[in-house]
């Protein structure tokens, strides 16, 4: 438990123990305060009552020996000290020691007594050299103060009681603390356990073991943390798997063209190919494979860039129809060569906001597919239409089409319908995945419809700039 830094459970421990000690102390002092106040108050009332009861027996005139004796008798039977002081000038007569009436009560108190009121006192009394609580009752005959009944209790007896009370109190508090510590240890262990498990799991994840499933035992924050942790581990795991698959795909894509290049070069080098014409054919094949590698590399770089950069888009308004026409010009020779007919119907209105380079790449990748997967004599058609705040570009062909089973996957990386196709047919299956990324980056949508032997229709919907003048 005591390692380099204080653990969470120790922090909770310290907090709770401190809170308990503080509240015990607070409750203790509060109870002391009230106990003292209420108790002292009660003593005072008792004293006043006691004295008043005795005072009832006084019926005016001079204070008689009889009355004094009665009070003395009462004094001997009682916890508190009671005595009578008769006529102001004869004080010493009733007391075992010299007493000065004037110092026993102040002038102020004397006035109160004269008015028939009881006087309560608390504090050090020089006369008795003690801390006392006292009550004084006047014995008035008309407007003359004939004497007083003075009753008091030394405070020592009160503090003794308080001390006893405190001892019991603290004893109980100590017991309480032990019980709390006992249960808290159990509870803390339970509380900290899932956190420890998570720490352990996190260490495993950083060591590369993602196959982790923490049990979510509680519905509280710790429970949802465990849940979040599981999800995180799962998504790291999936990401890792995707990376692995990606690398495998890349390696696989590189292997074939490289082995072709190696094979052809070896053949020429070893002098197996003698015929000059055949040599030229081999060199051409080498050049084609190298170009394929170059394209693959370019596509991979593109994908990496698309994955990492969100910004870096240089959007400008593009007159879409004109832009498409310009791209199509580059395809004229190959279309002529493949005897593919081109039908174009472009609405000149749509203006899109886009990065020219990226929009061009979208067109290239789709047109490349259309040409590659369409037989000689086929048709490729392009239509562009404006719809409210969007435009739709359709690039269709009358090619071989995509089987329904493959259609949902063609936009995945490295996915191609003909897995074992010849080297003369298409590329590595990255084209459409790049297109999808690019279109989404331009806040557009792409859908592909296709039917085998009939053709394929790629639709791209892009937001357009609203023309203020129309």
Q: Residue 136: is it exposed, middle or buried by C-beta count within 10 angstroms (0-12/13-18/19+)? A: buried
Min CB(434)–Mg ion separation in Å: 9
Nearer to Mg ion by C-beta: 230 or 372?
372
Q: Would you count residue 431 as binding ligand ATP (CB under 6 A)?
A: yes
Report strand pairing: 390-397 vs 351-355. unpaired
Q: Would you count residue 198 as binding ligand ATP (CB under 6 A)?
A: no
Which residue lies nearest Mg ion, judged by its C-beta? Answer: 431
Nearer to ligand ATP by C-beta: 69 or 245?
245
The three-point CA angle 376-379-385 to 5° equals 155
Residues 6 or more apart whose CB falls under 8 angstroms from that of 383 comprise 344, 345, 346, 392, 393, 394
Q: Would you count residue 441 as binding Mg ion (CB under 5 A)?
A: no
Determine the 3-state secondary structure of 166 from DSSP: helix
Which residue lies nearest ligand ATP, judged by its C-beta? Answer: 427
Q: Would you count residue 442 as binding Mg ion (CB under 5 A)?
A: no
Nearer to ligand ATP by C-beta: 19 or 304?
304
35 close to 162: Cβ distance less than 8 angstroms:
yes
Stretch of 133-141, 210-218, 312-320, 431-439 contacting ligand ATP, by CB under 6 A: 431-439
Distance in angstroms (rounded) separating the CA atoms of residues 20 and 33: 20
Nearer to Mg ion by C-beta: 326 or 425?
425
The item of Mg ion, ligand ATP, none sharing an interface with residue 402, based on CB under 5 to 8 Å by kind, is: ligand ATP
365-394 residues near ligand ATP, rule: CB under 6 A: 365, 369-370, 373
Within 372-444, strands assigned E span 379-387, 390-397
Q: Would you count residue 140 as binding ligand ATP (CB under 6 A)?
A: no
User: Which member of 50, 125, 299, 360 binds ligand ATP (CB under 6 A)?
Assistant: 299
Q: Would you count residue 446 as binding ligand ATP (CB under 6 A)?
A: no
The item of ligand ATP, Mg ion, none sharing an interface with residue 428, based on CB under 5 to 8 Å by kind, is: ligand ATP
Q: Would you count residue 257 as binding Mg ion (CB under 5 A)?
A: no
Stretch of 178-186, 279-287, 366-374, 414-422 contacting Mg ion, by CB under 5 A: 366-374
Nearer to ligand ATP by C-beta: 230 or 459?
459
Tokens 């590189």: give the residue: 254
Distance in angstroms (rounded) separating the CA atoms of residues 342 and 332: 9
Nearer to Mg ion by C-beta: 235 or 447?
447
Min CB(392)–ligand ATP separation in Å: 17
Burial per residue of 20-29, b for 16 or more beta-carbon CB atoms within 10 angstroms, e otherwise: beeebeeeee
Q: Would you count residue 369 as binding Mg ion (CB under 5 A)?
A: yes
Closest CA to 37 of 128, 169, 136, 162: 162
319 close to 351: Cβ distance less than 8 angstroms:
yes
User: DSSP code of 464?
Assistant: B
Q: Would you count residue 457 as binding ligand ATP (CB under 6 A)?
A: no
Which stretches of 270-319 are DSSP H helices?
A: 276-308
Q: Would you count residue 99 as binding ligand ATP (CB under 6 A)?
A: no
Helix axes 276-308, 221-269, angle to 10 degrees: 160
Q: Would you count residue 110 as binding ligand ATP (CB under 6 A)?
A: no
Stretch of 146-154, 191-199, 430-438, 462-470 contacting Mg ion, by CB under 5 A: 430-438
The item of ligand ATP, Mg ion, none sharing an interface with residue 299, based on CB under 5 to 8 Å by kind, is: ligand ATP
Per the structure block, which two tokens stand in for 118? 């009881």
The item of ligand ATP, Mg ion, none sharing an interface with residue 223, based on CB under 5 to 8 Å by kind, is: none
DSSP 323-376: HHHHHHHTTHHHHHHHT-EEEEEE-S--EEEEEHHHHHHHHHHHHHHHHHTS-T
Per the structure block, which two tokens stand in for 89? 């000038």
Stretch of 23-31, 222-230, 341-349, 362-370 contacting ligand ATP, by CB under 6 A: 362-370
Min CB(376)–ligand ATP separation in Å: 15
Given the rule CB under 5 A, which residues bind Mg ion? Answer: 369, 431
Given the rule CB under 6 A, which residues bind ligand ATP? Answer: 299, 365, 369-370, 373, 397, 399-402, 410, 415-418, 426-433, 456
């Amino acid at each position: 438990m005591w390692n380099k830094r204080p653990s969470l459970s120790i922090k909770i421990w310290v907090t709770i123990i401190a809170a308990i000690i503080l509240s015990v102390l607070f409750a203790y002092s509060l109870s002391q305060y009230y106990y003292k106040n209420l108790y002292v108050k009660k003593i005072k009332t008792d004293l006043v009552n006691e004295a008043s009861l005795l005072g009832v027996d006084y019926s005016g005139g001079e204070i008689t020996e009889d009355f004094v004796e009665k009070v003395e008798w009462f004094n001997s039977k009682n916890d508190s000290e009671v005595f009578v002081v008769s006529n102001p000038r004869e004080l010493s007569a009733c007391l075992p020691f010299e007493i000065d009436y004037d110092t026993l009560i102040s002038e102020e108190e004397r006035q109160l007594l004269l008015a028939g009121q009881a006087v309560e006192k608390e504090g050090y009394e020089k006369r008795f050299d003690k801390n006392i609580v006292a009550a004084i009752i006047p014995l008035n005959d008309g407007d003359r103060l004939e004497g007083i009944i003075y009753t008091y209790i030394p405070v020592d007896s009160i503090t003794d009681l308080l001390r006893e009370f405190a001892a019991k109190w603290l004893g109980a508090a100590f017991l309480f603390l032990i019980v709390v510590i006992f249960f808290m240890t159990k509870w803390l262990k339970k509380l900290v356990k899932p956190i420890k498990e998570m720490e352990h799991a996190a260490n495993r994840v950083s060591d590369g073991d993602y196959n982790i499933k923490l049990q979510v035992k509680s519905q509280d924050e710790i429970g949802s943390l465990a849940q979040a942790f599981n999800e995180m581990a799962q998504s790291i795991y999936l990401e890792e798997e995707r990376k692995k698959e990606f690398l495998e795909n890349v390696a696989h894509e590189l292997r074939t063209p490289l082995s072709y290049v190696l094979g052809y070069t070896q053949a020429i080098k070893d002098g197996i190919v003698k015929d000059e014409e055949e040599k030229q054919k081999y060199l051409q094949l080498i050049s084609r494979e190298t170009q394929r590698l170059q394209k693959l590399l370019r596509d991979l770089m593109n994908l990496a860039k698309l994955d990492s950069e969100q910004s870096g888009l240089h959007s400008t308004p593009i007159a879409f129809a004109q832009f498409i026409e310009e791209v199509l010009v580059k395809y004229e020779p190959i279309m002529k060569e493949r005897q593919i007919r081109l039908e174009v119907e472009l609405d000149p209105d749509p203006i899109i906001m886009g990065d020219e380079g990226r929009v061009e790449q979208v067109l290239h990748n789709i047109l490349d597919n259309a040409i590659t997967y369409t037989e000689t004599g086929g048709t490729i058609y392009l239509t562009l239409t404006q719809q409210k705040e969007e435009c739709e570009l359709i690039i269709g062909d009358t090619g071989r089409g995509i089987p329904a089973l493959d259609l949902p996957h063609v936009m995945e990386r490295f996915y191609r319908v003909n897995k074992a196709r010849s080297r003369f047919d298409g590329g590595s299956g990255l084209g459409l995945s790049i297109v999808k990324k690019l279109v989404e980056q331009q806040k557009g949508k792409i859908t592909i419809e296709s039917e085998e032997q009939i053709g394929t229709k790629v639709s791209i919907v892009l937001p357009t700039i609203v023309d203020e003048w129309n």
